[in-house]
A = this chain, B = another copy of it.
Amino acid sequence: MNIDMIRAAAKRLEGHARRTPILTSPFLDEIAGRRVFVKAECLQHTGSFKFRGGWSAVSALSDNELKSGVIAFSSGNHAQGIALAAREHGAPAVIIMPSNAPAIKIANTRALGAEVVLYDRATEDRDALGAKLAAERGLTLIKPFDEPLVIAGQGTCGLEIAQELGDLNADVMVCCGGGGLTSGIALALAADAPGLCVRPAEPEGFDDVTRSLASGTIERNAQLDGSICDAIITPQPGNITFPIMQAHCGPGVVVTEDECLRAMGVAFDRLKIVIEPGGAVALAAALYHPDEFTSDAVVAVATGGNVDPAIFKRALDTLA
C-alpha cells in the first residue's frame, strides 16, 4: 500500500464518487471547546464511504473480470457500495448475506441490482459457499477492508480532507471497524497533510484497534454482537490495515453508545445530516472527549448507511 495507489483510485473515482462537504457549526465548537470540522461522508452514494472502496475495486477490474462479475460478503454498507459500483460498471454482483440480516438491507442491496444469496449462519459455511459460487462463475471476491484497492478507495476521503484542511494541526477522528477507512485516510494525510494526525474511534466493548495499537499486537474483540454500532464491528484489525495504522495513527479513543446517540442528535440538529451509530463514533469522540486532544481543532469523519428509525428516535430523545 502506498499513496500512489490512493491517487490512482482518486482518478478512477472522479465524477463517480461524491466529493463530500466538510461542515462546521459554532454550536459544535462550543460543545467540544475547540474548532470541529465534520467530513460528511454520509452524503456519499449509498450513504457510506464504502462506495469509495467498492468503486475503487470494481473500476480496477479488467473487462473480462467485469463481465464475469464480483462477489462480496456483507450484511450492510459494503454490500450496497459494491452493488451500486458493479451496476454502474455493467458487472453482475453477488452478495452473500446472512438470512437473518435486516430485511431493509437485503431489499436495498437487491434494489441496487445485486443478486443476494442468503445463508444460514448456524448451519452453513459462508466462505465455502462463496468459494463455490466464485469458482463456478468466475467471480472476483472483493473483501470489505483488508484489500489494497478498497483501502486505496477509502483513502480518497483523506485526500479531500488534506486538500481542504491541510494547513491545520489537528486530530482526525475516524470511525474504525477493520481499519480500511482509517488506514486509507492515514496514508493520505501522512503524504499530503503532516499536521493532521489520524486517530481511530471505537465503541466501548469493541475497541480491538485501540487495544491493538496500545499493545503493539493484533487483539480481538471478546464479542461481535450487542452493539448499536454494528456497522463497524469486526473481529480484529486487518493484516494489511494494522501495520499502516501502527505507522501513522495516534492512540484510539473509545466512546459510549450514549455518546454516539448524542452525537447523532447534534448532527441532526446543528448540521442537518443523518449518521448511523457506528458512523457517529468519531464525532462522539470529538465532542465528548475533550481531554484526549491537545490541538485546537479536531476533524471527525461522519458516515451514514442504513439508519434504523427506532434508533434514530433514541438519538432525537437526547435533544430534549
| Contacts from A to B (Cβ < 8 Å) | 18, 20-21, 23, 25-27, 30, 40, 42-43, 45, 47, 84, 111-112, 268-275, 304, 306-307, 309, 312-313, 316-317, 319-320
* 25 residue pairs bridging A and B, Cβ less than 8 Å apart: A20-B21, A21-B43, A26-B84, A26-B111, A26-B112, A27-B111, A30-B111, A42-B272, A43-B271, A43-B272, A43-B273, A47-B270, A268-B274, A268-B307, A268-B312, A269-B306, A272-B273, A272-B274, A272-B304, A272-B307, A274-B274, A309-B316, A309-B317, A309-B320, A313-B316
Q: Kindly provide the distance from the CB of A17 to the nearest chain B CB, expressed in whole angstroms.
A: 12
Q: Which residue of B lies closest to A25 (CB)?
A: B45
Report the separation of the CA atoms of residues A312 and B43 in the bound assembly, to the nearest whole angstrom.
19
Provide the residues of chain B in CB contact with A275, threshold 8 Å. 272
Report the separation of the CA atoms of residues A304 and B304 in the bound assembly, to the nearest whole angstrom.
18
Task: Determine if B23 and A43 form an interchain contact, defined as CB atoms under 8 angstroms apart.
Answer: yes
Provide the residues of chain B in CB contact with A30, threshold 8 Å. 111
Total copies of the chain: 2
Provide the residues of chain B in CB contact with A47, threshold 8 Å. 270, 272
Q: Kindly provide the distance from the CB of A43 to the nearest chain B CB, expressed in whole angstroms.
A: 6
Report the separation of the CA atoms of residues A112 and B312 in the bound assembly, to the nearest whole angstrom.
27
Provide the residues of chain B in CB contact with A84, threshold 8 Å. 26
Q: Which residue of B lies closest to A318 (CB)?
A: B309
Report the separation of the CA atoms of residues A317 and B271 in the bound assembly, to the nearest whole angstrom.
22
Report the separation of the CA atoms of residues A307 and B267 in the bound assembly, to the nearest whole angstrom.
12
Q: Which of A47, A274, A304 has the most CB of B within 10 A?
A: A274
Q: Which residue of B lies closest to A265 (CB)?
A: B309
Task: Determine if A312 and B316 form an interchain contact, defined as CB atoms under 8 angstroms apart.
Answer: yes
Report the separation of the CA atoms of residues A169 and B30 in the bound assembly, to the nearest whole angstrom.
44
Report the separation of the CA atoms of residues A18 and B26 in the bound assembly, to the nearest whole angstrom.
15
Contact partner, A274, options B111, B112, B273, Cβ 8 Å: B273
Report the separation of the CA atoms of residues A30 and B110 in the bound assembly, to the nearest whole angstrom.
14
Q: Kindly provide the distance from the CB of A306 to the nearest chain B CB, expressed in whole angstroms.
A: 8
Q: Kindly provide the distance from the CB of A197 to the nearest chain B CB, expressed in whole angstroms.
A: 26
Q: Which residue of B lies closest to A112 (CB)?
A: B26
Provide the residues of chain B in CB contact with A306, threshold 8 Å. 269
Provide the residues of chain B in CB contact with A27, threshold 8 Å. 111
Q: Which of A18, A272, A313 has the most CB of B within 10 A?
A: A272
Provide the residues of chain B in CB contact with A312, threshold 8 Å. 268, 316
Q: Kindly provide the distance from the CB of A103 to the nearest chain B CB, expressed in whole angstroms.
A: 12
Q: Given that A42-B272, A274-B268 are known contacts, is A309 also in contact with B304, CB under 8 Å in the complex?
A: no
Q: Which residue of B lies closest to A19 (CB)?
A: B21
Q: Which residue of B lies closest to A84 (CB)?
A: B26
Report the separation of the CA atoms of residues A163 and B169 in the bound assembly, to the nearest whole angstrom.
34
Q: Kindly provide the distance from the CB of A74 to the nearest chain B CB, expressed in whole angstroms.
A: 19
Provide the residues of chain B in CB contact with A319, threshold 8 Å. 309
Provide the residues of chain B in CB contact with A270, threshold 8 Å. 47
Provide the residues of chain B in CB contact with A26, threshold 8 Å. 84, 111-112
Report the separation of the CA atoms of residues A43 and B40 in the bound assembly, to the nearest whole angstrom.
10
Provide the residues of chain B in CB contact with A111, threshold 8 Å. 26-27, 30
Report the separation of the CA atoms of residues A209 and B181 in the bound assembly, to the nearest whole angstrom.
48
